[in-house]
Every structure is written in C-alpha cells, then in structure tokens.
Amino acid sequence: RTLNVDLDERSYPIYIGGGLLDKAGEYFEQHGLTKKSPVLIVTDTNVAPLYLSKVEGALSDSGYTVVIKIVKSGEKSKSLQVFEEVMTTAIEGGLDRRSVVVALGGGVVGDLAGYVAAAYMRGVTFVQMPTTILAHDSSVGGKVAVNHPLAKNMIGAFHQPEMVLYDVDTLQSLPDREVRAGLSEMIKHGLIWDAAFAKWCGEHTQDLLNLDPEALGYGLTMGCSVKAKVVSTDETEQGLRAILNLGHTIGHALEAIGGYGEFLHGEAISIGMAAAALIAVNRGRDRELYNETVKLLQGFGLPTVMPNHLDENEIISAMMHDKKFKESKIVFVLPVSIGKVEVVSDVKLEEVVSVIKELK
Ligand code: NAD
Ligand code: ZN
C-alpha cells in the first residue's frame, strides 16, 4: 500500500507493507538519494538487535555508506544531550548536506532523529522507518522534537520526511502492551473523523490484536490517512489540527502525574477518550455515545476508568499546566457522534471533576 501525504509545499509517500526494510536500498534509489554522502541510521537499544542489520545490509548492498547511532530505548533519549551525541556521530561520520538521516524505531527515535535531520547543516533529508503502531501517528505531520527537563516536546521543528517506509513485519516483535497502546491512537483516528473506520476497528479487534498483517496494513493506512487529511488542512496547528487531541487533555495529565511510568501514552488517552465521551453525555449527548466508545476501547483491553488512587485535584492541576489550558477555560475535544468531534472552550472544571469521580 502507498499513501500520499499532500502538503502545501510538497508531498511524500508512506509505503505500508511487509518486507519493506529488505528493500530499503531500492526505495532510496527510487527517490534519487545520493550514494556519495553517508547515511546516518538512528535507532534504539531494543530495535537495533532486531532490525538494524537488515536495514544496514539493504543499504550497503545498494552501495550506500552507513553510519550508525544507537541510543538507549525510552523517552529519556529525547533530550538535548542525546541530540548532541547524535550530532557528534553525524559530524564524525562525515555527513554532508546531501546526506540522509534515517529513524529506525518508534516515536522516540522518530522525533529525535527527525530533529537532528531538521537541524544538521540547517536541514538534511529525513526518512522514517517506524517500528511501532503508535508511530503511525508520529510519522505523519512533520513534527519533530526533543524534550526539555521542564516540558515535553519543547524544542523542535517542522521537518517533513522524504518518505516513510512502514514495514509491518517489524510490529510482530512489539510487546503486547505496546500493541494495545498503539492501537488506541489508531482508534482515535476513527473516532475523530471516520465512523466507518471506527466500526471496522470494532469488527477487527482480534485481527489487530493478533497482528494480522492484512488488518494492520489497512488499519495503519486508514490511521495515517486520517492524520494526513487533518494536518494537510492545517499544517502549522491553527484550527482543525486540534481535533487530534481527543482524549489528550486528561490523557496528558494522567501521564504527568503517573510520572510517565504508570501509563503508556495510548493507555492514558484511552481513559481520556472515555472521559471526553462522558463529558459530552453530561452535556446532553446520547448515552449510547459513551457506551459505544467504552465498548470499542475495552475490546482492545484498553483502560477506560480512572484509577482509584488518583486524586481529582491532582489531575486538574496537572491539566492546568498543560498548554491546552487557556485563561481558566479548558479547550476540550468532545465527541458529537462516533466519527465526529467538536472543539469547545467552555468546559468548566466542575464538569471535569464530576466525570473523574464518575469514572472511578
Ligand atoms: P518508543 O519509540 O519509545 O517505542 C516503544 C518501545 O517499544 C520502546 O521500548 C522501543 O524500544 C520498543 N520498540 C520499538 N519498536 C519495536 C519493535 N518493533 N519490537 C520490539 N520493541 C520495539 O515509543 P512510541 O510509543 O513508538 O512513541 C512515543 C513517542 O512518540 C513519544 O515521545 C511521543 O511524544 C512521540 N510522538 C510524536 C508524535 C509526532 O507527531 N511527532 C505523535 C505522537 C507521538
Ligand atoms: Zn497522542
């Protein structure tokens, strides 16, 4: 499958299928990427033993010179310090203006390597090779960043890839919890935009959880295409792009108070999506909207209740630190029906507190 992401200035393809990493060299040639300049592959300590030799082999066989940087797996690698380490490898490896930076891994490696590609010599070609389900989300939109100790994703850029090579075979080795959490973001893309796709997710829950290649290929293509439609309408985050934040207002707060260890991102936004549906119901939408949302998420083994030990005041104050909180009003994405959402800015704190209590 090939999906084209069309943006104002340029477009790039997302290739989705099995066995793509073995053909990395051919894709590079097809895209006219030079063999005279070294290619830097950035990956992490979990992904390297599984897939690095495959990509390195494919590129070398086609005549590319490969430089490698392996960072520690985990969010901590999205730091300025690791960014500098990758830069050092790039300089020592002799990368020049026509070099390519490859991100082989999940969203962490994608964001880090993407920011290196955006900044190295004021910008070089970037190729994404996502290896997580969640990365279908981060591979579209061109947002790349590292974290500051005081705030997540604070230092970054918009830098679109030349192409995305999404080899679904790599997803087979994902831990089960990462699979579910990644699918949470896929379901979100159905809930905000495409009722038929949301329904399809409900009907193919087992196929997706079993990592059936056909189902994954379709689901990832649909998820990427929803995101692509939203971001191409709104490339620099003015209006429409806000709908991508369904479940994220409360989700981010849960991640923050869990010290980014208790919940995976997809788990936190699953609870956030259930909460948003309940707020909408309390404001007059049909209760079926909440029931259907929760049923869909629970089918994937995703959490939809607030853990009892979390204090609602703590959740609220974490939410207020989030950038979506504007002058004592919270910007919330609320479902209208399955497949359709609205962005509202008049949700009161009491409404959120009440939903948190109801969900315990
Ligand atoms: P991740 O990159 O940390 O990957 C999750 C875990 O799975 C890691 O331990 C990783 O080493 C391991 N892993 C990756 N691929 C594997 C494979 N095929 N087999 C076995 N293990 C594998 O996390 P993620 O969930 O992919 O991404 C989260 C990051 O993405 C966050 O930093 C988030 O901010 C970012 N993100 C960015 C955007 C964007 O638009 N740029 C959007 C969403 C999320
Ligand atoms: Zn998200």
- At 13-35, the pLDDT tens digits run 999 999 999 999 999 999 999 99
Residues with CB under 6 A from ligand 1: 44, 46-47, 50, 73-75, 78, 105-109, 111, 131-132, 134-135, 137-138, 141, 143, 153, 170-171, 173-174, 178, 265
Q: Is 125 exposed, middle or buried (0-12, 13-18, 19+ CB in 10 A)?
A: buried
- Specify the fold of 2-172: Rossmann fold (3.40.50)
Q: Cβ contacts of residue 252 below 8 Å, gap of 6+?
A: 268, 272, 318, 319, 322, 324
The 10s digit of each residue's pLDDT in 92-108 is: 999 999 999 999 999 99
Rounded to an integer, what distance in angstroms lies between the CA atom of residue 145 and that of residue 117? 11
Q: Cβ contacts of residue 131 below 8 Å, gap of 6+?
A: 47, 50, 51, 104, 105, 106, 167, 170, 171, 174
Pocket test for ligand 1, best of 52, 134, 224, 323 (most atoms within 8 A of CB): 134
Q: How far is the CA of 73 from the centre of ligand 1 (A)?
A: 9
Q: How far is the CA of 245 from the centre of ligand 2 (A)?
A: 7
Give the CA angle between residues 256, 262, 264 to the nearest 5°: 80
Q: How far is the CA of 216 from the centre of ligand 2 (A)?
A: 19
b/e per residue 174-197 (b: at least 16 CB within 10 A): beeebbbbbbbbbbbbbbbbbeeb
Q: Where are the beta strands (DSSP E) in the chain?
A: 2-6, 11-17, 39-44, 66-71, 100-105, 125-130, 143-148, 151-158, 163-167, 325-326, 329-337, 340-347
Contact 21, 170 (CB under 8 A): yes
- Main-chain dihedrals φ then ψ at residue 325, nearest 5 degrees: -95, 115
Q: Cβ contacts of residue 305 below 8 Å, gap of 6+?
A: 271, 274, 359, 360
Q: Edge-to-edge strands of the sheet including 163-167?
A: 2-6, 11-17, 163-167, 125-130, 100-105, 39-44, 66-71
pLDDT bin (cut points 50, 70, 90) of residue 149 is confident
Pocket test for ligand 1, best of 45, 165, 178 (most atoms within 8 A of CB): 178
Nearest ligand to the C-alpha of residue 251?
Answer: 2
Contact 352, 325 (CB under 8 A): no
* Residue 341 in tokens: 């959402």
Helix or strand run (H / E) with residue 225: helix 213-233
State residue 261's pLDDT score. Answer: 79
Q: Is 74 helix (H, G, I), strand (E, B) or coil?
A: coil
Name the residue ranges covered by the structural domains of the chain. Answer: 2-172, 176-358
Task: Kindly tell me if the per-residue pLDDT of 326 is higher than 70.
Answer: no
The 10s digit of each residue's pLDDT in 205-242 is: 999 999 999 999 999 999 999 999 998 886 555 578 89
Rounded to an integer, what distance in angstroms lies between the CA atom of residue 173 and that of residue 169? 8
How many CA atoms lie within 13 Å of 334's alpha carbon, on the beta-carbon side? 20
Average pLDDT, the chain: 93
Q: Residues forming the annotated binding site for NAD(+)?
A: 73-78, 107-111, 131-132, 143, 152
Nearest ligand to the C-alpha of residue 130?
Answer: 1
pLDDT bin (cut points 50, 70, 90) of residue 151 is confident
Rounded to an integer, what distance in angstroms lies between the CA atom of residue 108 and that of residue 78? 6
Q: Which of 81-85, 252-256, 285-289 has the lowest mean pLDDT?
A: 252-256
User: Which sequence positions are flagged as catalytic?
Assistant: 122, 143, 185, 227, 237, 241, 245, 248, 252, 265
Write the CATH number of the domain with boundaries 176-358.
1.20.1090.10
Rounded to an integer, what distance in angstroms lies between the CA atom of residue 44 and that of residue 114? 14
- The residues facing 67 across adjacent strands are 40
Rounded to an integer, what distance in angstroms lies between the CA atom of residue 105 and that of residue 113? 10
Q: How many CB atoms lie within 10 A of CB 233?
A: 11
Q: Cβ contacts of residue 232 below 8 Å, gap of 6+?
A: 5, 6, 7, 8
Q: Residues forming the annotated binding site for Zn(2+)?
A: 185, 248, 265
Nearest ligand to the C-alpha of residue 246?
Answer: 2
Q: Residues forming the annotated binding site?
A: 73-78, 107-111, 131-132, 143, 152, 185, 248, 265
Q: How far is the CA of 57 from the centre of ligand 2 (A)?
A: 33
Q: Which of 28-37, 296-305, 346-355 has the lowest mean pLDDT?
A: 346-355
- Determine the average pLDDT of the residues in 143-158: 92
- The residues facing 343 across adjacent strands are 333
Pocket test for ligand 1, best of 79, 132, 230, 323 (most atoms within 8 A of CB): 132
Q: How far is the CA of 98 from the centre of ligand 2 (A)?
A: 32
Nearest ligand to the C-alpha of residue 114?
Answer: 1
For ligand 1, atom 5: residue with the closest CA: 106
Contact 143, 168 (CB under 8 A): no
